[in-house]
Structure 1
């Protein structure tokens, strides 16, 4: 059996860690030796107190994740105290649920601001530090709503799938610097989600049952560019894949697409595309072969 995963030399930031999933992640990291920055606009200190009471090291931060200046101040404090930042878990989030037709623009902007802008701001604030270290682990918190859709959550699902796009590019850009970037789609009963989940789900969907997946994705042996879904002690990998494709000739029209549709639908799933350039190269190669 391999040695247990530890974080004894690591410094981790967990955003939105005053309760729910973030708190569970922070406690789990601290229990395995990490120094943890508990970021939350409302309840950070109580989680810091929990960590310290258990013998761990922690720092509280009330910085809003979408406030670039406040986040930079938080990062400066961490470097001054601990000298490095190894792990960032972008967990902070809010809900403003309504059907698409009834969603006001400010509901859309608020959700995008916390989930997408917040992850962008926090990741950019630590990126050069991780590059200089030659080591970093960044975790985006996506959602099944973003991956698959969910009624009444057009704003939320837009932000959550955007985080997958951010992960995909940062995983490519960070690879040569030892930075691995992944995404977690959790299923958990928290204050934010309790109204959306079925009655009686609380015991099965405790946030602490998601944290092992989060810790794996920020561990030394983590993969990169991976979407892991987790909940109720169950894990799965979600992938964006495409079929091998069909070459329609040099001047295809809409009738050619319609004629090929059934055959295209019947194709097996192809290997995941590693980057946008690979898909473009595939199309060019197939067109040349047909011509």
Structure 2
């Protein structure tokens, strides 16, 4: 089949590569978000998907919006049989949805109808789910509401960050997408409507959402920090200084804990740094101060003037 691929970040790359390497299909065009700028020279930086497409010699379109007139014009020229979406980062309007003969399919990193929305992996970790997965579904006007062609499951490990889990799902999901595209191509696969029960939503995460709430129980603090790692990055304040935190460990029974700690109160020893929560404490992993590299919490504490009233907020 003639395929058009829409995607932007690293997690979309395994699926694009899988489809490029499949001889039965032809990726005739790629749509990705516009180049960003970086560095002192403000040089243009291609998206991860755009870079792969460039290397493969595939034509790339970078519209600001899918509703831009040239999108429909270019798609008509590409004449795709099917559109494939993985983490594109923009809405696809009904006029564009109707252009490919077989419509569009989307790889979503949850088992639908659970965690519809922009941040399903982060939401599943924060909620304490033990199992998640990926779904390939037919795009329609609603938010992740289309019928599902196929799913896979993945265990959430106790120390998984969102980055860890997304990396695994992007790899296994690429195989799922290939199987779905193959099935659609030979007419042997039908999409099944989503169950009306079990719907949950995972809204887009903001930087403010990633601020650590020490007034929550320790297990919720630990989950939230993993859910926001590596992006946008969990953070907290000590005085007027903002600190970025790596994953932490619940430490309610840690023998090194220097007595009870109030919410946000820091308890530092030579070997560990603890912070009080609404129930017990957590042991800090890495701490990154502004303009510096991340370091082990005890090293950070030794370089910071902490007293018994030191507190994170």
Q: TM-score, normalised on structure 2?
A: 0.40
Q: TM-score, normalised on structure 1?
A: 0.42
User: More helix per residue: 1 or 2?
Assistant: 1
